[in-house]
């Protein structure tokens, strides 16, 4: 078993607590890797992503999608159903079991849309960086031209 001490990371960084906690959790083995339902994560554009889950047998009202505190939670819950009278199940190969999938979202990534088509749930995600955080170009003035204390911004 491998152990990694992240103490130096905690000592020498400021503001990376969330990332360090995620690494620490992953390395400690606390996170279980569920395999149901299977899913894909796709990049559909420069700032667009799609998560596709195979949810065959689930209706729209049996699925829920929630985005909160940088985490996307997709859950499916089937109502308890009793077998029909006179029907005996000889083999149950279709899972139809309840599930909950959690995805950590990067900063500024938001779920924008969800569709259920042919047993596949597609959740569209987009990264929207606020204008205040986008890079800006600052013009350089010569010392003779410098008359104000404010730098001139070039859009």
**Mean pLDDT, 10 residues at a time, over the chain (155 residues)?**
64 63 63 77 91 92 92 88 72 83 88 93 90 79 65 57
Q: Which residue matches tokens 């924008």?
A: 112
Residue whose structure tokens are 């009793």 = 82
Beta-ladder partners of 138: 153
DSSP string of the chain, one letter each residue: ------HHHHHH-SS-HHHHHHHHHHHHT-S----SS-EEEEEEETTEEEEEEE-TT--GGGEEEEEETTEEEEEE-PPP-PPPTT---S---S----EEEEEE--TTEEEEEEEEETTEEEEEEEE---GGGS--EE----TTT--SSSPPEE-
Q: Are 18 and 47 contained in the same domain?
A: no
CATH of the domain at 72: 2.60.40.790
The whole-number pLDDT of residue 35 equals 81
- Residues 65 and 96 reside in one and the same domain: yes
Q: Domain check: are 17 and 64 in the same one?
A: no
Question: Are 101 and 145 members of one domain?
Answer: yes
* Shared-domain flag, residues 56 and 120: yes
- Residue 106 tokens read as 């990067």
Q: Report pLDDT for 18.
A: 63
Range of the domain at 22: 1-33
pLDDT for the residue numbered 113: 93
49, 68: one domain: yes
Same domain for 122 and 79? yes
Residue 119's contacts (CB-CB under 8 Å, 6 or more residues apart) are: 54, 55, 56, 57
Alpha carbon of residue 65 to chain centroid: 11
Asked whether residue 66 falls in the same domain as residue 112, the answer is: yes
Based on the fold, state whether residues 78 and 126 are members of the same structural domain: yes
Q: How many domains does the chain have?
A: 2
* 43, 14: one domain: no
Q: Tell whether 87 and 141 lie within a shared domain.
A: yes
Output the pLDDT for position 126. 92
User: Within this chain, do residues 57 and 117 fall inside the same structural domain, yes or no?
Assistant: yes
């Amino acid at each position: 078993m491998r152990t990694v001490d992240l103490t130096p990371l905690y000592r020498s960084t400021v503001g990376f607590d969330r990332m360090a906690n995620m690494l620490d959790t992953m390395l400690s083995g606390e996170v279980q890797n569920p395999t149901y339902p299977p899913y894909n994560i796709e990049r559909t554009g420069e700032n667009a992503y799609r998560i596709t889950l195979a949810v065959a047998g689930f209706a729209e009202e049996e699925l829920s999608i929630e985005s909160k505190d940088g985490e996307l939670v997709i859950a499916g819950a089937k109502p308890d159903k009793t077998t029909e009278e006179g029907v005996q199940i000889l083999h149950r190969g279709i899972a139809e079991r309840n599930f909950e999938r959690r995805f950590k979202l990067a900063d500024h990534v938001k779920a924008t849309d969800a569709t259920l088509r042919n047993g596949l749930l597609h959740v569209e995600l987009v990264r929207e960086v606020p204008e205040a955080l986008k890079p800006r170009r600052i013009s350089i003035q010569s010392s003779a031209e410098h008359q104000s204390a404010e730098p001139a911004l070039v859009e």
